[in-house]
């Protein structure tokens, strides 16, 4: 099952220079991903960005997964013994 992020993640040249952001906010996707990569839980991110909702953070994760798949298809990963 694929999570549809298309309604929640947008790019607009007038907002953050066209960087992907959560719709209705100026919160960049990369900021949320960086927080997750540093070990933040979704609840912690919601405290830091009180205008966000859980489904928006899930959309960011889905967007990143789809972007990664486009850049490096899963079938192209090396097999480790």
Res 78 pLDDT > 70: no
pLDDT tens-digit readout, 5-41: 888 999 988 888 889 999 999 999 999 999 999 999 9
pLDDT tens-digit readout, 31-66: 999 999 999 999 999 999 999 999 999 999 999 988
The half-sphere exposure of 75 on its side-chain side, counting CA atoms within 13 A, is: 1
Spatial neighbors of 66 by CB under 8 A, at least 6 apart, are: 2, 5
Third-level CATH fold of 9-74 = Arc Repressor Mutant, subunit A (1.10.10)
Res 80 pLDDT > 80: no
Domain segments of the chain as ranges: 9-74
56 in helix, strand or coil? helix
């Amino acid at each position: 099952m694929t999570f549809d992020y298309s309604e929640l993640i947008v790019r607009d040249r007038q907002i953050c220079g066209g960087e992907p952001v959560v719709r209705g906010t100026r919160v960049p996707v990369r900021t949320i991903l960086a927080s997750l990569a540093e070990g933040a839980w979704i609840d912690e991110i919601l405290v830091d960005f009180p205008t966000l909702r859980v489904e928006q953070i899930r959309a960011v994760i889905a967007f990143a997964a789809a972007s990664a798949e486009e850049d490096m298809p899963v079938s192209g990963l090396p097999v480790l013994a």
